[in-house]
Structure formats: C-alpha cells, structure tokens
Amino acid sequence: MKNIKNIWIVSLFIIGLIGLVVVEGFINPKIAADEVRYEAEQDDPLTHDFTAVAQYQNAYMGNFSNLSHLNQNLPLHERLDGYELFPETFTAQIHYSLNTDEMDSVQLDRILVYNALANFVLIDNLEQIVYQFKDTRIVLGRELAQQWVGTELKSLQNVEIWDDVVRQRLVEPAKAQEAFSQMVDQS
C-alpha cells in the first residue's frame, strides 16, 4: 500500500516536472515571440492592427486622453514627444522627437498618411493634423484626406474597407508618396 502511494507521488512529481518544462521551455517562449512580433507589426502601417485603435473612436478632438491614446497606438508612437490641441480650428498638433531625414522617406509618408487617416476616421470633428518634427512641420487636412480616399471617412471604420481603401493603396512606394502629396495642406 505504501509502495503504491510512493509510486503515485513520484509519478505526479514527474508529470508536474514535464509540464513545467513544456510550459517554460516551449509555450512561454512562443507566447513571448508572438508578442514581440505583434509589437513590431504595430510600427508599420502595412501590418498595423487597425482594430486595436478602433476603440478610440470619438466625436470630439478635444478629448485629449482619447487622442493621445489613439496616437500612442499608431506607428511612430515610440518617437512621440507631446501634443497640442487647437479647438478653435479643430487642429491637433503632434510632436515627434526626430528629424524627418532619420527615416526612409517612403516609410515616413506611409506612416503620416496612415496615422492622419486613422485620426480623421476615428475623431469626427478633427479638421487638421499637424506633425511637428525637429526639422519641419507637416499639415494634413481632413478635406484632402476625404478627396484621396474617395469615400466617406466614417466608412473606413470597417476594417475590411480600411484595408482595401487605405492599406492596399500604401503598399507601392509611388502610391504612398502620391497619397502623401495629395493630403498635405499647402495653405
């Protein structure tokens, strides 16, 4: 009887040890690798998870907390350096701690178009977004974004439509640069 009890204890110990090795040696590293991959994807407009920012949809650009959380979950978030809101012109100014020449120009164009559209689509009364870099200031306008998209911005809250209308049109470098030049407000 005592022998059977000892066999059960040893068996359970071995099963627990094997379980620990599987969890710590295989499952946890895979989960960690998946998280690292997902985070890296969030830095690129072509792989960014738009559903992750949909929760920041808001009628008013004056909701500072919402606007900041939205932009902290968009590409280039790691270089954010503050915000300013100008409610009289429905403008948000987003500061970045880098010079524009520190990035590939096509990738920067993609990011700015993607981020501006995400802001316009998710914040109903935002009319302009100003990206303030150390070396330059870039202004993108809602009306110009609407013209480039060719459909109601609100419809882009649907992820499939977003992917078709925005993400797919930013894949080709020439199309990304064209989108950027069409959305920049020259006034």
DSSP string, 51-69: GGTGGG-BS-TT-HHHHHH
Average pLDDT on 32-58 reads 87
Whole-angstrom distance, CA of residue 103 vs CA of residue 95: 16
Residue 27 predicted with pLDDT over 90: no
Residue with more model confidence, 98 or 4: 98
Q: How confident is the model at residue 31 (pLDDT cuts 50, 70, 90)?
A: confident
Amino acid (one-letter) located at 15? I
Whole-angstrom distance, CA of residue 161 vs CA of residue 171: 15
* Residue spans per domain, the chain: 1-41, 50-183
Nearest C-alpha neighbor of 139 from the set 183, 90, 95: 183
Residue 41 predicted with pLDDT over 80: no
CB 71 within 8 A of CB 83: yes
pLDDT of residue 2: 74
pLDDT of residue 187: 60
CB 130 within 8 A of CB 171: no
Whole-angstrom distance, CA of residue 144 vs CA of residue 135: 24
Average pLDDT on 131-160 reads 94
Whole-angstrom distance, CA of residue 51 vs CA of residue 160: 10
Would you state the structure tokens that stand for residue 102, as one six-digit string? Answer: 């520190």
Q: How confident is the model at residue 186 (pLDDT cuts 50, 70, 90)?
A: low
Q: How far apart are the first and last CA of the chain?
A: 90
> Which DSSP string do the residues of 109-135 spell out, in sequence order?
HHHHHHHHHHHHHHBTT--EEEEE-SS
Q: DSSP assignment, residue 152? A: -
pLDDT of residue 66: 92
